[in-house]
Amino acid sequence: MLRAFCIVFILFVTIQIQAQVPSEAEKKTIFNDSLKKVEFLSNIGVGYFPTKYFKIDLRSLFKLNQYEGVRTGLGGITTDALSKRFRLNGYFAYGFKDQTWKYSFGGGMRLGQLNSNSWLNYSYTNDITETGSSTFLTDKRFFSFFEPRLINISLFHKHLTHAVSIEHKITNHLLSELRFAVSDVTPTYDYIFVLNNQEFRRFDQSLLKLSLQWSPFSVYEYDDKRLVEVKDGYPKFTLQGTQSIKGLFKSDFNFSKIDFRTVYQIFHRNRAISRFTIVAGLAVGETPLTNLYHAYPNNINKTTILQRFTVAGLNSFETMYFNEFFSDRFATFQFKHFLKPFEVTQWFKPQLVLITRHAIGDMNNIDRHQNITFDTLDKFYSESGFEINKLIFGFGLSFAYRYGSYHLPVWEDNLSFKFTFNLTF
């Protein structure tokens, strides 16, 4: 009797275990569902909502700035399901304050085999760009619900741009992009660039750019014949050269630029993170303000602290006022130390971030830039502060103080108090 009971018990347990173990078909289904979920989240992480043939660009849906007011639109790029050899991309947007449509359309053709990361691209763009901003062609897409600095920017220039580029991965650790663009540029503000007694209120540019991004310590592996980064290694280095060619396609100016950035992160055993960022740029020749540098300021020109209470940026100078400084050569250093989150409860884990930022720069031929007033960074700019992030729903608070050579006479004007928003996918 006992033996029979044991046999029945063992059979029962075996049946239950087998019932809980997925079959090969079920395993395959679970695996495919997991891959789809991972792919969906990875697309969301870089700002795309994927459908079968088209990925919607979430960054084009809504923006807000001082010139356009509310900007809304739609854009995206085709997927491999439509074609692995070709891709189409574009967007359109409307600014309710300037009451103007902006748009871009283009496409790319893969060079080489289907798993190649080399592309030949073309685009035509009618849009606006922040004056003094400098971006790297090889930068990865970054997506957050909104771009904090964008809300406060007031100085833009319009451009109609035809661009042809070649993306090529030289090695797993070295990305490159070569781009040639012809642009018709018109500042949206009252600006005159004076060169050889000639005044330019709008101008044509032919720009050749080469951008290189080197990540020597990142780790890459093949996933379904595609090379993906499985470990984000530091330091990273980015170098970009720009040459404006006078006379080519009616280009008005000759100038050269070189931009550099390095980012280094230290991951401590106590879950704290230290991040160092150095950015530098040099422009030589007949360079209009649109192509010069600012140090990514993020303080609006208002009288009181509460009037200046807006959104802190991710890598911007919070006490530096918009359009306060421009340079044709500059360097910035930023240090952030992210302390281990305070685990108050399971859902409430605020994090303290200690920050210090410094900048230096200068400008030759400042008299070429008319109808606009600004200073240079030749004395060394400094600010320090801290953030308390993730207080509620991704929101936090930011405090910074301006000191040193550019300390202002009124104490309150040196202080920045803002909220942060760091919830990203």
pLDDT for 52 beyond 60: yes
pLDDT digits (tens, 9 = 90+) for 324-334: 999 999 999 99
Q: Which of 242, 250, 245 is nearest to 211 (CA)?
A: 242
What pLDDT does residue 4 have?
Answer: 37
pLDDT category at 112 given cuts 50, 70, 90 is confident
Tell me the average pLDDT across 123-146.
Answer: 83
Residue predicted with more confidence, 420 or 30: 420
Neighbour count for residue 227 (Cβ, 10 Å):
13
pLDDT for 374 beyond 60: yes
Is the model's pTM score more than 0.75? Answer: yes
- What are the structural domains of the chain? 1-45 (no CATH), 117-421 (2.40.160)
Residue reference for tokens 């997927």: 79
Sign of CA dihedral 400, 401, 404, 410: positive
pLDDT digits (tens, 9 = 90+) for 78-91: 998 999 999 999 99
**What is the overall mean pLDDT for the chain?**
87
pLDDT for 9 beyond 70: no
